[in-house]
């Protein structure tokens, strides 16, 4: 009879990188389906372009770095990065911008810093910011949700627009695209309108704008699924939502006519997607329990600050990148105590 001797750790979680990434992709399905439902096939085409580019770029650079290509590709992290980037992009973005962004995410932000596990910045968000800063016009051409759209683009028309960068004949950008709700709110506020006046437009739903808030809801479903499967820690989304709600709530109480109410912030832009899928990236986020709460809270607060007083209508990408920078410091000051350790006393 043999008694095998094991060393610690005795309890092992079944989570491998591949399984985690596959679960994230699965959890994205409802949100992506909702995006396609409200904003058309462009979302899907973007995902295909970005994923193909990401996998190809990852394969090439793994070869250059003398890593085992197939095994590392199987961890699906490049696919997750590509999908997260693609769903943040406007549905009619010209294909070469999607390719450029994906290449930047995989080659520069991920592999030049050492590959999966070593990148200090979230690749998808860094690429999004690169595109937003460099190509502001193309990056703000969002479609209105399907229920409000004057023009419905067919699959063929969408593909044509993405591949050529021009709309089919007889259509103009002004007719097809519209400002995002956050952009709209911002512009109207700049005209000195009050929130109650602005919200009389048919654009708005219960919280955010019609269509947009439902996309948020479906991402929330996916996010809760990830929480249930313990893929992500609850502290980051909780901290982030609390950070946004508390900060927005505080200012809203003082000035409800120029600061949109907290629910609007919650279900607009990339907030829900960011809280559950982007800020929770295990590589670039804080890793201690208390640190995660602080990290999330600061992201939420920064989102509100930039949305209200900053130069861009949405801010999830900027906030996440800023806090990526702060994550090591947050971790340093929030190390949990080792079990059984006592506070050191003098003498």
Partner 1 sequence: MIGYREIIKEGLWNNNQALVALLGLCPLLAVSNTLVNGMGLGIATTLVLVASNTTVSLIRNWVRQEVRLPVFVLVIASFVTAVELSMNAWFHDLYKILGIFIPLIVTNCTIVGRAEAFASRNNVPRSALDGLSIGTGFTLVLMVLGGLRELIGQGTLFSGLHLMFGEGARGLVFSLGDDYHGLILAILPPGAFFGLGLLIALKYLIDRRLEERAARKAVQAEPATDTAAAPAEG
* Distance between start and end Cα atoms, the chain: 53
43/317 with CB nearer partner 1: 317
Contact 238, 296 (CB under 8 A): yes
Q: Of 30, 27, 39, which Cα lies nearest the Cα of 76? A: 27
Which range, of 37-45, 129-137, 141-149, 324-332, touches partner 1 by CB under 8 A?
A: 129-137
Whose structure tokens read 């640190």? 291
Which residue in 328, 256, 269, 331 sits closest to 300, CA to CA?
A: 269
* Cis-peptide into 9, omega within 30 deg: yes
Please state the closest distance from residue 131 (CB atom) to partner 1, in A.
9
Taking each helix axis as running N to C, give the angle between helix 95-103 and helix 123-134, from 0 to 180 degrees, rounded to the nearest 10. Answer: 130
For position 164 contacting partner 1 by CB under 8 A, the verdict is no
Q: Does 133 bind partner 1 (CB under 8 A)?
A: yes
170 C-beta neighbours (distance < 10 Å), count: 7
Stretch near partner 1 under the rule CB under 8 A, chosen from 15-23, 127-135, 216-224, 326-334? 127-135
Compute the distance between CA of residue 240 and CA of residue 276 in angstroms, rounded to an integer: 9
Closest distance to partner 1 from the beta carbon of 224 (Å): 36
Region 168-227 residues binding partner 1, contact defined as CB under 8 A: none
Task: Give the DSSP H/E element, type plus range, for residue 99.
Answer: helix 95-103
Closest approach, Cβ 130 to partner 1, in A, equals 5
CB-neighbour burial class of residue 5 (10 A; exposed 0-12, middle 13-18, buried 19+): exposed
Q: Binding string, 79-118, against partner 1, x = CB under 8 A?
A: ---------------------x-------x---x------
Quote the CA–CA distance of 81 and 94 in Å, as a whole number. Answer: 19
Between residues 112 and 147, which has the closer beta carbon with respect to partner 1?
112
Residue from 62, 85, 130, 294 in contact with partner 1 (CB under 8 A):
130
Binding test (CB under 8 A) with partner 1, winner from 15, 134, 154, 201: 134
Using CB under 8 A as the criterion, what x/- string covers residues 44-83 for binding partner 1? ----------------------------------------
Judged by the rule CB under 8 A, the positions of this chain that interact with partner 1 are 100, 108, 112, 130, 133-135
């Amino acid at each position: 009879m043999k008694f095998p001797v094991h060393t610690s750790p005795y309890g092992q979680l079944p989570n491998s990188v591949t399984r985690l990434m596959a679960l994230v992709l699965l959890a994205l399905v409802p949100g992506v389906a909702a995006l396609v439902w409200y904003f058309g096939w462009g979302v899907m085409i973007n995902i295909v372009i970005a994923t193909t580019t990401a996998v190809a770029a990852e394969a090439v650079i793994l070869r250059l770095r003398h890593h085992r290509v197939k095994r590392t590709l199987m961890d699906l992290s490049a696919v997750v990065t590509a999908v997260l980037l693609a769903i943040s992009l406007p549905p009619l973005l010209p294909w070469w911008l999607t390719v450029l962004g994906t290449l930047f995410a995989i080659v520069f932000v991920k592999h030049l810093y050492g590959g999966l596990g070593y990148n200090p910045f979230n690749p998808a968000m860094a690429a999004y910011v690169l595109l937003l800063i460099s190509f502001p016009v193309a990056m703000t051409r969002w479609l209105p949700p399907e229920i409000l759209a004057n023009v419905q683009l067919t699959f063929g028309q969408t593909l044509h627009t993405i591949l050529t960068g021009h709309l089919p004949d007889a259509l103009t950008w002004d007719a097809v695209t519209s400002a995002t709700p956050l952009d709209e709110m911002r512009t109207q506020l700049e005209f000195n309108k009050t929130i109650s006046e602005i919200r009389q437009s048919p654009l708005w739903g219960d919280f955010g704008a019609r269509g947009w808030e439902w996309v948020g809801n479906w991402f929330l479903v996916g996010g809760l699924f990830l929480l249930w499967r313990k893929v992500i820690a609850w502290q980051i989304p909780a901290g982030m939502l609390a950070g946004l709600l508390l900060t927005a709530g505080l200012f809203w109480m003082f000035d409800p006519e120029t600061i949109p109410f907290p629910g609007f912030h919650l279900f607009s832009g990339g907030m829900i997607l960011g809280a559950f899928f982007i800020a929770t990236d295990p590589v670039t986020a804080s890793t201690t329990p208390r640190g995660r709460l602080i990290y999330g809270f600061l992201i939420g607060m920064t989102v509100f600050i930039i949305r209200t007083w900053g130069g861009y209508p949405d801010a999830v990408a900027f906030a996440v990148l800023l806090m990526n920078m702060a994550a090591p410091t947050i971790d340093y000051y929030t190390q949990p105590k080792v079990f059984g350790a006592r506070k050191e006393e003098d003498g």
